[in-house]
Structure 1
Amino acid sequence: MSTAVAADISPAARRAAAEGLVALGAQMHAEGWSRATSSNYSVRLSADPLRLLVTASGKHKDRLTTDDFVLIDDTGAAIEPGAPKSSAETMLHVVLGRDAGAGAIVHTHSVWGTLLSDAYATTGVLTLSGYEMLKALPGIKTHDTSVELAIFPNTQDIAALSAELSERIKAGDEAVRYGFLIHKHGLYTWASDLDGARACVEALEFLFECEGRKLSLR
């Protein structure tokens, strides 16, 4: 690495996280969920103090290298000299790592996620019910259930969005338990580790396509 690793994070842990995120980026791009330079991902390397490894801004996700990540603290600031700029949505990762206990966070820009976030924008929530794939989400044991995903306005005020997200997580809002959508933008989802977050995004993107195709058949 060209930058010094923070004293409280081992180089091996950082390297492993970066390699996992590089592989994730290649998969998300291949699936069509992270095209152009869209999307951002992170892994939490420490809970106290909070340390997150987040994708740098403006990177094509199919061409990430282990140098294309930024180690940040609980204010969203880079803590290494000479670090590239992190994603503009870094504070959403901070909130999820701090308040939701997320060990890994994945943000995608899929076609179906974008369209459904618009189709259900007036209700402020997308409900997914009765699908077997729901069982891929943490803690769900039966298809006979419903999951709600909040839909937030596509504001450029990330500080305000982060504050609202934090409040809803702390209040135990079920609509931000597994993920949320940003209007005409995309999905955020998370889990305790990167493999879990990958399973969540794969499941939710599958469910989005099911819902979208169902709407088109009506």
Structure 2
Amino acid sequence: MNDPIYTLEQRQQAFAELREAKAELAARGWFPATSGNLSVRVGAFAADRFAFAVTSSGKDKSKHTPDDYLIVDGAGRPIEPTKLKPSAETLIHCELYRLTGCGAVFHVHTVFNNIVSELYAEQGSVPFQGVELIKAFNIWEENARIEVPILPNYAEIPRIAALVEERLRPDVPGIVLRNHGIYAWGANVFEAKRHLEAFEFLFEYAYRWKALRL
């Protein structure tokens, strides 16, 4: 990048927001075995030029260290000199920012989102209808229905990233990778967290409802 698109103050704010979100989600057990990643957009945005702060790879997210985050560009490459590495899944974050213009992306692995993604894998999406928490996505009609896209969990992350654009649903701020985890996003950290919590409620609801009907 030629000219800086974020300030030191914006960088520090993004790191502080990630720290707070990471602590809260780690306390829920949503980052088992260093899994998952969080990111927050930093500074100005254009689809062809933007930057975001992201959790560094391989860190215990229940702990806090000076090496927890780094800044990357729209291709997932570190902008600042650093020994840290972003997760390979950063490429999926890049696509979500580019396509939606969102302000934050949260990715977690939970038992419920893994099981439900497997239960509905052949359908290609997880359907929900008439559940109150759908309103968390600003969908207010009575008996509303949504479908959360399921993407294959390829070992090569670029293959997954290449599928994101065609599978996004404008009214659903989330995608789930089969037997992997959910990506939820929003205009800011507050909204991304709200969407993530709603998805996790819905996944648990779907699992328990299906179990009751067996």
Amino acid across the alignment from 2:61: K
In structure 2, the CA distance between the partners of 1:120 and 1:180, relative to structure 1 (3 Å rule), is same
How far apart are residue 160 of structure 1 and its match?
1.8
Task: Determine if contact 1:131/1:143 at 8 Å carries over to the other structure.
Answer: no
- The reply on whether 1:157 has 2:156 as its aligned counterpart is yes
How far apart are residue 178 of structure 1 and its match?
1.7
Which residues of 2 match residues 114-153 of structure 1 at below 5 A? 114-137=114-137, 139-142=138-141, 144-153=143-152
Percent identity over paired residues: 36
Q: Secondary structure at the match of 2:34?
A: coil
Q: Give ranges in structure 2 of 5+ residues lacking alignment.
A: none
Partners of 2:20 and 2:115 in 1: CA distance = 26
Partners of 2:64 and 2:152 in 1: CA distance = 29
How far apart are residue 213 of structure 1 and its match?
0.8
Partners of 1:151 and 1:64 in 2: CA distance = 32
Match of 1:182 in 2: 177
Match of 1:35 in 2: 32
Q: Give ranges in structure 1 of 5+ residues lacking alignment.
A: 1-5
Which residues of 2 match residues 1-218 of structure 1 at below 5 A? 7-45=4-42, 46-48=44-46, 49-65=49-65, 67-137=67-137, 139-142=138-141, 144-169=143-168, 173-174=169-170, 177-218=172-213
Q: Which consecutive segments of 4 or more residues in structure 1 shift more than 2 A?
A: 64-67, 166-169
Q: Secondary structure at the match of 1:122?
A: helix
1:25-50 per-residue CA deviation (whole Å, 9 max, x = no partner) reads 11112212222200001011131331
How far apart are residue 101 of structure 1 and its match?
1.3
Partners of 1:131 and 1:143 in 2: CA distance = 10
Q: Secondary structure at the match of 1:43?
A: strand
Structure 1 length normalisation: TM-score?
0.90
CA root-mean-square deviation: 1.6
How far apart are residue 189 of structure 1 and its match?
0.7
Task: Determine if contact 2:109/2:181 at 8 Å carries over to the other structure.
Answer: yes
How far apart are residue 168 of structure 1 and its match?
3.5
How far apart are residue 98 of structure 1 and its match?
0.8
Amino acid across the alignment from 1:58: G
Partners of 2:207 and 2:53 in 1: CA distance = 33
Instruction: State the aligned residue count.
Output: 208
How far apart are residue 99 of structure 1 and its match?
0.7
Partners of 1:179 and 1:208 in 2: CA distance = 12
1:11-70 per-residue CA deviation (whole Å, 9 max, x = no partner) reads 111111111111111111221222220000101113133101111001111113454112
Structure 2 length normalisation: TM-score?
0.91
Task: Determine if contact 1:22/1:65 at 8 Å carries over to the other structure.
Answer: no
Task: Determine if contact 2:153/2:160 at 8 Å carries over to the other structure.
Answer: no
Amino acid across the alignment from 1:191: G
Task: Determine if contact 2:150/2:178 at 8 Å carries over to the other structure.
Answer: yes
Worse overlay, 82-91 or 190-199: 82-91
Amino acid across the alignment from 1:77: R
